[in-house]
Structures are given as structure tokens and as C-alpha cells.
Structure 1
Amino acid sequence: MTAPRTLLGWGLVALLAAPAAAPAQDLLTVWRAAQERDRTLAVARAEHAASQAKREQAAALWRPNVMLGLGAGVGTSESHMNGAQFSAPGMGTSSGVNFATSVDAGLATRASVTAQQPLYNRGRDASRAQLELGADMGDTAWRAAQAELALRTAQRYFALAVAQEQLHVAERQMAAVKRSTTEAHDRFELGESPVTDTHEADAALAGVRAQVEAARLQVELKRQQLTDSTGLPALTARLPVSSAAPGETLQGWLDAAQAGNPQVRLAAQAVTMAEQDLRKRRAANGTTVDLVAQASLDRIDGHGDFGSANNRSRNGMIGVQVTIPLYDGGMSSAQASEGARLLDKAQAQLDQAREQVGEQVRAAWLGWQAGQARIAALEDGLKASAARLDATRLGREVGDRTLLDVLNAENDHARATLALAEARAEQVQNRLRLAALADRLDEVVLAEVNASLQPEQAAAPAAPAAPATVSAQQSQAAPAQAQRRRPGKQDRR
């Protein structure tokens, strides 16, 4: 009766522990979906589009400005001229003539058109350079945002893959512990093991059940996080089985990062921006030359001291206007001094960015190098833990090992399996970090990583097979010196 009950229990455990079949998405599919859905990238996309308008602003700075002015209201006009000379056909010439006009509370209108074309203006030159630099910085920031999204997506993808592996390992561990628990209870009922074995097995089973629930929660949290950024429902991920070599030496990656890293480029562009700002501040008190054309018409109609009257004035001018500031109270020199200090700050930030990027490249490179050795060691450790588990289970059969020894071996094998999965995922991310630091993280690199993922149909490494439950007949056939003492009635209680 014991053996059929045990086999039935194992069958139920296997059915409960088997994960539901669901197609796994690859990294490229998730990345392409994230490009369309990720909120952080959407913000960066809008910022990039806004920055590109600065190129048109830079071009507009040297185009002519045309202004139309119109005005109407109530006005007054009065003019006096004394000692004028007057001449008219048939009237001769008169000297000492006085003229006077007067309009009180009349309708006054004014219209003017002014066109101005800058010819020489160092401040405008600096402003145009700043606007073009702003657009270039927008391009650099956009590339950095795309690389950050690729890293963020890969991190979330592999976090889900590791969480799934942790759940699978915990479920397999729970199935093994359930088998050991059933065996412990069966042996106790047969009087072949002490009651402490059943207590140890029950405690281990309760602990692993808690681990399974915690792992299941982590899977749901990681899946939801990835779904929020991609819009893909029911996501499942795959672990990598290998990691491609970086392809260059450490010095090669350092040189590539110093030349192409987006943060270094942004800092270098900020230095150029500060130089143009200083140039603009120094030019604030400089001479400017503009081509100017203007036409205006002023008119007022109404009644005045001499009856009904209207005055009309037309003016027109085209020529070159030169503006030479003479004194501004020291404002321009003070602003130039501030700009020089800001330039020093930008240069220091560039040096800081180069140093930080160099440290990040070294960390990623050394992390990859150490990761290779770690993976090799973990692979050996996983084989050793599997062999140890097999040996411990066999020793349990013949009485050389206790149930606690088996449970400890199960735990060690589960930890080794999970550690290897985490190391492989971290190794791939070190490779992606190197590419991002050198501004080389694109879909080609992601495709290489994608090719290293575990095939969809491949299952996770299975735990070593558990031995059959020891029946009463097997127990009697075991060597006498390996038999555990049978608990008495007091022990079973």
C-alpha cells in the first residue's frame, strides 16, 4: 500500500510543479516593442524633436527682419515757425514770414514698415553657433537615450529570465522535498526511521513552499515591469547559454569610449557651448552693423485754433546703421568674467566625464573577464553538486546518510543552478555595457546576444533523479550494519 501511495503523490507533485506552456519572447522582439512603448524613451524622443528646431532658429538669426507698425488714437499737433522765407509764383519772395498749425483732439494714425538685415554682429554669430550646438547635443542625448533603453530592456528581460529560473528551481526542489517527506513518513510508519526525520522533512517542505511563493511573486513583478515598458502581455524570457567575446582589448575599448561615449561627447559639446557663450558675452558691448530700410506715414485730422486742419508726414530711409556702445556701467565685463568661470567649470566636467567613463569601461571589461572564470567554476560546481546529491540520496538508501543530509544536498544543488543562471545573465549584460559605453550598442549587438539565448524548446536543467521509495522488502535486504535502529513506540509518538 505504501508504494502505490508514494507513486501517486509523486505524480500529483509533477503535475503541480510543471509550468504552463507559453511561448518565450526573444530579446529583439522585446526591444522593438519597448522602442514604441517605453515612456522614458517617449520623453527623450520629444526632447530630441524639440532640439532639432534649433537648427532653423540658427539659420533665422541672419535673415532680414521686417516689421509693420500700425497705430490709431486721439492726438494733438501744434507747430510754429517764425522768420521763414516764403516764395510762390506770382507772389514774389517774402522774408520774416511766420507759420502756425494747430489740431486739437484729432484722429491720429501712424503706419510704418521697417526692414533690418544684420551685416556684422559677433553676438549673433555666437548665438547661431550655440543653437547649432544645442541641436547636436540633442542628437547625442537621443543616441544615449536609445542605448539606455537597450540596457534597461536587457536588464528587465534577464531579470525576468532569472526569476523564472528561480521559480523552476524552487518548484523542482519542492517536488524533491515532497518525495523525501513522503519517504520519511513511510519509513517512520514502518519503524525504520525516527520521528525527527518526519519533522525535518515537514519543516523543509514548509520552507521550500515559502520559497516557491516568493519566487512566483518575483516572476509576476518582473513580468509586469517588462510588460509596462513593452506592452507585450504574458511575457516569458530565456536565459543565455553563452556570451560572445568583447572583440577588443581593454585599451581598444577605452579609446573607443573616449571617442564615442555619449556622456563624454555631451561634456565636450558643453565646453564648446561655454566658449560660444563667453564669446557672446564679450560681444555684448561690441559694434554692430545693420542694413536698415524704413518708411512711415503720420497723419492727424481735426479742429484747431485756425479751424479745420490736418497734418500729414511721410518719411523714408534706406542705408547702413552702425551701433557703437559707449558705456554700460561695467555690465558686459562682469558678464564676461562669469562666462570665463563657467567655461572652466565645463572643462572640469569634461575631464570628470572622461575619468568616470574610463572607470566604467574598466569595470565592465574586468567584470566580463572575471565572469568567464566564474561561469566555468559554477559549471563545475553544478556538476559536482549534482554528483553529490546522487551520492547522498544513494547513501540515504543504504543508511549512510540522514534525511537532513539529503535536504542540504538538495539546497546546495538548487543554489548552484541559480548562481549559474545569474552569472550567465550578468555576463551578457557586461558585454552590452561595454558596447553602450563606446556608443556601439545597436540592433546588431542585440541580435548577437539574442542568438546566444537558450532555445525555446530547451528546458531548464533538471535535478538529478530521485531514488525510488524504500519499501519494506528493500529495507530488509539492506546490509545489517547500515540499518537505522527501528524507533520504538515511544519514538513514534
Structure 2
Amino acid sequence: MTRPPRLRASAVVVAAGAVLFAPSAWSLDLMQAWQRAEQHAPEAALARASREAGAARGEQAKALWRPNVVLEGGVSYANGETATRGAQFSAPGFGSATGVSFDTSVHGGTATRYALGLRQPVYNRERSAQAESLAIAADAAQHEWARSRQDLMLRTAELYFNAALAAERLQLLQRQQRAVDKAATEARDRFRLGDRPVTDVHEATARAASLDAERLAAQTQLDLARNALADLTGVARLNDPTETLALPGGTPVDDIGTLPDWLARAERHNLELKLAEASLRSAEARSRASAAAFSPTVDVVAQVARERLSGDGDFGTASNTARNRAVGVQLAVPLYTGGMRSAQATEARALTDKAQATLDQARQRVAQQTRAAWLDLAVGKSRISALATALDASRARLDATRVGLRAGDRSTLDLLNAENDASAAELALLEARTRLIVHRLQLAALAGELDDAAVQRANALLQSTRS
């Protein structure tokens, strides 16, 4: 019977509404995870604050050679007395006299003072070394920010792939559990028919219970991995069951170049080495500052000042006012500091030796890490090829075991083992592909080349794990 047109139209509307309001899959790729982590992660904010503080050190270095201007002013309650003896006095119409005395006094008067002073450093070896040290600290803060950013990129990638692999591991266990449940049902049915021994039923039941325990553990690992990624990125929807993460779909490796080339690039651009070099240069600057302890300093100084004291005294109301203006050059030569500067010089030399040793140690460590990351990439393609071959063989074995089970040549235990091996081989291949991407990012970080473009290239190798 043909449905009325109105009913057909209603069905179309209902179907469209179901599609419109049905929960849709939501995905987060690696690049999006990094962008959100850069905005949300506390370590990103910490790195930005440190970078701004470092930039301020550069301004401090410039300010050391700029003039300092000081304005002083004050009001106080004061007493004052002056006594002059043996003075000579002369004035028009009064003649002159010698042995004259002048006395003034103010008790409980008001004293006011203001002064405007300027000091411009001209020559100061210690200040030069301090300015150099501050400029080095500003450069080091920039390197520290870049290294923190690279560390956050690597951490984001690791947490992202941990969550993606945990989701894939859970899916494989669920798929394996469905296959085992099916095998257990078939074993029970065939046991009732007398076609299979009871041991097949027990083996399938035991394997199903074991897989259920593994599934619960995998679910816990997935929840922890998702929460860690959510904390880093601020993405609350990561616990949504419809969310998807991406894993590499092929062999994610290109021409990695030669090991000597990577070692040279790491030696030139590795951010840890740049920080160690900055620490050494800063220690050398401090050592030079200590060595300049007894060097003279030359400053241009200028001052305008006025002082006044007024009030009542022994001889009536009185006031004293003094004004002065001066511009000149001031020379200072330190003679003795109680041994402080020599002790500081000894400390600075020791810290310079320590910074040099730290740099040498960092060079060895970076070279070892670069060599390890390069070797992992060099053998990674062959390892993935071998694991892909193992996966094909495991799947072929699984198909053959299913056929053999139906023919009576294989047992249920053989099928369960084949299912387990095929799932393990699939997961091992995914983990190897993922590690290869992480190693490539690590190698880029060791060479100081890990940036948004590198993350985007890694992201282009991924594909959704769900259809």
C-alpha cells in the first residue's frame, strides 16, 4: 500500500530532525591541541612572564649608562647658632673695623632644604661589566622562553598520543572481547552438540573474564590520559565519548639526513647549549666586574641646592639662607674594601670554571641525545616495515585459525591466541609509528628547530582513528 503524501513528508521531517540533533563526532588534532596548550598551560604563562622579565634586564643594562637625576626636599624643626670672631667689617659711611664679632641664633626654627642633583657615569669598568651581564641575562631569558615552548610542544605531543593510543587500545580490547564472546558462545553450542570438549568452553570463558579485566584497566588508563591532556589544553570535551583523536596512518618518516649534520646543527642551535653558553658569558662578565674593583670611576655631577633656617633666637628674629650651584667632574678611587672585593673575585673565578664545566657536560649530553634520536629514526622505518609484516602474518594466521577451527583442525584456544596476537601486533605497529613522530619532534628540538611548522608537519601525518 502506498503511504499518503503527508505521512511520507512527516517521515522526512523526523529523519532530518534525527540527523540534526543526533550527537556528532568531535575531533581534536595535534595542532589544535598545541595551540590550546600554548594559551592554557600554566608553564606557557610562566615562560611568557620570564621572557618579559628578561627583556626588562636589557633595559636595565641600557639604564646603567644614562644620567641619574635626584630631587631632594625636606622640612624640619631645628636649632642653629653661628659665632664669628676676629672678623673685619667695612661699609660705606661706617668706615672699617677689625676684631669684629657676629653672632646669630635660632631656637625651634623651621629649616627647609631642596636640591636637584645629576650624575652621569663617564668611566666605570665595574658598571660596564654589570651592563654586559644584564644584556646576557636578557638573551638567556629569550632562549629559556624558546626552550620552554619546545618542551611544551613535546609534552603536548606525548600526552596527545598517550590519549590516542589509550583509546585505540581500549577499542582493540573491546573488539577482541566481542570475538572471544562469540567464540565462547560457539564453544558452548558445539559442546552441547558434542562437537567440542568442555575445555574449549572453560578456555573461552577464562579468556573473556581476563579481557574484561584488561578492558577495565584500559578504560582507567584512557580516563587518566584524557584528563592529563584536558588539564594541559583546557579542552573539557576530551571526556566526551564521541571525541576522536588521531594516530599516524602510515610510515611517518622522511629523509632524516646524516648524523654528522644533525650533530653540527645541535652544536650551533641547541637551546640548552645556548643557555649554558649564556651562563658562562655571564660568569665571565661578573669575574671582570670583580677584577675592576679597584679601578677608578669618573662621573659628571651637577647640583642646584638651597637651605634656609628661620625663627627666633637670642638676638631676635633671624634667618640663614644658603644657595649653591655646581657642575664638575668627580673622580673616585677605591683604596680598601676590607677584603670583600678580593673574596668576590675569587668566587667569580670559581663560578666561571663551574659554568665552563657545565657547558662541556651539556655538550656531551646533547650529542648523546641527538645520536640516540637519530638512530631511533634511522631504524624506525625498517622496524615499522617489520611490524607491518608481522601484523599481516598475524591476520593471516587468524583467518587460517578460524578456518581450521571450523574444520576441526584447530582448538578454541588456538583461535583465542591468534586473536590476541593479531590485536597485539596492530597495537605495536601503531605505537611504533607514534614513537617515530615523537622522535622526529625530539630531534628537531635538539637542533633548536622545533616550531609550529614542525608540529604542523607531524599533524599532517595523522588520521582519525574512527570512521
The two structures have a TM-score, normalised by structure 2, of 0.91
Report what 1:8 is aligned to.
Answer: none
**Amino acid in the other structure paired with 2:104:** T
**Amino acid in the other structure paired with 2:454:** V
CA distance, structure 2, for counterparts of residue 105 and residue 406 of structure 1: 109
Please show how residues 345-384 of structure 1 align to structure 2 within 5 Å: 345-384=354-393
Q: Is the 8 A contact 2:62 2:131 kept in 1?
A: yes
After superposition, give the CA deviation of every residue in 1:150-199 in whole Å (9 maximum; x if it has no partner).
11111111111211211111111011101100111101111112222111
Cα 1:420–1:136, aligned 2, differ >3 Å: closer, same or farther? same
CA distance, structure 1, for counterparts of residue 280 and residue 200 of structure 2: 72
Report what 1:26 is aligned to.
Answer: 29
Q: Is the 8 A contact 1:85 1:95 kept in 2?
A: yes
Report what 1:490 is aligned to.
Answer: none
Give the secondary structure class of the aligned counterpart of 2:335: coil
Report what 1:161 is aligned to.
Answer: 164
Report what 2:67 is aligned to.
Answer: 64
Please show how residues 43-62 of structure 1 align to structure 2 within 5 Å: 43-62=46-65
After superposition, give the CA deviation of every residue in 1:135-162 in whole Å (9 maximum; x if it has no partner).
1111111111111111111111111121
Aligned partner of 1:339 among 348, 362, 381: 348
Report what 1:325 is aligned to.
Answer: 334
> How far has the Cα of 1:231 moved from its partner?
2.3
Give the secondary structure class of the aligned counterpart of 1:408: helix
> How far has the Cα of 1:305 moved from its partner?
2.0
After superposition, give the CA deviation of every residue in 1:286-333 in whole Å (9 maximum; x if it has no partner).
211111111221111122222221111112211001111111122211
Q: Is the 8 A contact 1:144 1:262 kept in 2?
A: yes
Matched, 1:424 2:433: yes
Give the secondary structure class of the aligned counterpart of 2:65: coil
Structure 1 stretches of at least 4 aligned residues deviating more than 6 Å after TM superposition: none
> How far has the Cα of 1:55 moved from its partner?
1.8
Percent identical: 47
CA distance, structure 2, for counterparts of residue 173 and residue 457 of structure 1: 17
**Amino acid in the other structure paired with 1:219:** L
Cα 1:370–1:247, aligned 2, differ >3 Å: closer, same or farther? closer
Cα 1:185–1:362, aligned 2, differ >3 Å: closer, same or farther? same
Report what 1:386 is aligned to.
Answer: 395
**Amino acid in the other structure paired with 2:102:** F
Matched, 1:144 2:147: yes
**Amino acid in the other structure paired with 2:356:** Q
CA distance, structure 1, for counterparts of residue 362 and residue 167 of structure 2: 37
After superposition, give the CA deviation of every residue in 1:408-433 in whole Å (9 maximum; x if it has no partner).
11111111111111111001111110
Report what 2:322 is aligned to.
Answer: 313
CA distance, structure 1, for counterparts of residue 354 and residue 430 of structure 2: 45
Matched, 1:251 2:260: yes
CA distance, structure 2, for counterparts of residue 327 and residue 224 of structure 1: 63
What is the RMSD computed on CA atoms of the aligned residues?
1.5
Q: Is the 8 A contact 1:223 1:236 kept in 2?
A: no
Aligned partner of 1:236 among 231, 235, 244: 244
> How far has the Cα of 1:457 moved from its partner?
7.7
CA distance, structure 1, for counterparts of residue 343 and residue 458 of structure 2: 55
Report what 1:407 is aligned to.
Answer: 416
After superposition, give the CA deviation of every residue in 1:399-450 in whole Å (9 maximum; x if it has no partner).
2221111111111111111111111100111111000111111122222212
Give the secondary structure class of the aligned counterpart of 1:239: strand
Report what 1:265 is aligned to.
Answer: 274
**Amino acid in the other structure paired with 1:156:** L
After superposition, give the CA deviation of every residue in 1:358-377 in whole Å (9 maximum; x if it has no partner).
01101101111232222111
CA distance, structure 2, for counterparts of residue 417 and residue 386 of structure 1: 9
Q: Is the 8 A contact 1:242 1:453 kept in 2?
A: no
Q: Is the 8 A contact 1:188 1:194 kept in 2?
A: yes
Q: Is the 8 A contact 2:244 2:466 kept in 1?
A: no
> How far has the Cα of 1:22 moved from its partner?
2.2
**Amino acid in the other structure paired with 2:190:** R
CA distance, structure 2, for counterparts of residue 458 and residue 444 of structure 1: 26
> How far has the Cα of 1:209 moved from its partner?
1.4
Q: Is the 8 A contact 1:107 1:300 kept in 2?
A: yes
CA distance, structure 1, for counterparts of residue 50 and residue 440 of structure 2: 29
May I ask how many residue pairs the two structures share in their alignment?
439
CA distance, structure 2, for counterparts of residue 377 and residue 21 of structure 1: 37
Report what 1:491 is aligned to.
Answer: none
Report what 1:191 is aligned to.
Answer: 194
> How far has the Cα of 1:257 moved from its partner?
0.5
CA distance, structure 1, for counterparts of residue 377 and residue 465 of structure 2: 28
Matched, 1:446 2:449: no
> How far has the Cα of 1:21 moved from its partner?
6.4
> How far has the Cα of 1:99 moved from its partner?
1.6
Report what 1:215 is aligned to.
Answer: 218
Q: Is the 8 A contact 2:276 2:362 kept in 1?
A: yes
> How far has the Cα of 1:246 moved from its partner?
5.0
Aligned partner of 1:395 among 396, 404, 409: 404
CA distance, structure 2, for counterparts of residue 305 and residue 393 of structure 1: 124
Report what 2:38 is aligned to.
Answer: 35
Report what 1:489 is aligned to.
Answer: none
Matched, 1:110 2:118: no
CA distance, structure 2, for counterparts of residue 45 and residue 361 of structure 1: 27
The two structures have a TM-score, normalised by structure 1, of 0.86
Cα 1:159–1:457, aligned 2, differ >3 Å: closer, same or farther? closer
Cα 1:269–1:358, aligned 2, differ >3 Å: closer, same or farther? same
Give the secondary structure class of the aligned counterpart of 2:101: strand
CA distance, structure 2, for counterparts of residue 164 and residue 217 of structure 1: 11
CA distance, structure 2, for counterparts of residue 342 and residue 132 of structure 1: 19
Report what 1:182 is aligned to.
Answer: 185
Range with greater deviation from structure 2 (45-54 or 209-218) = 209-218
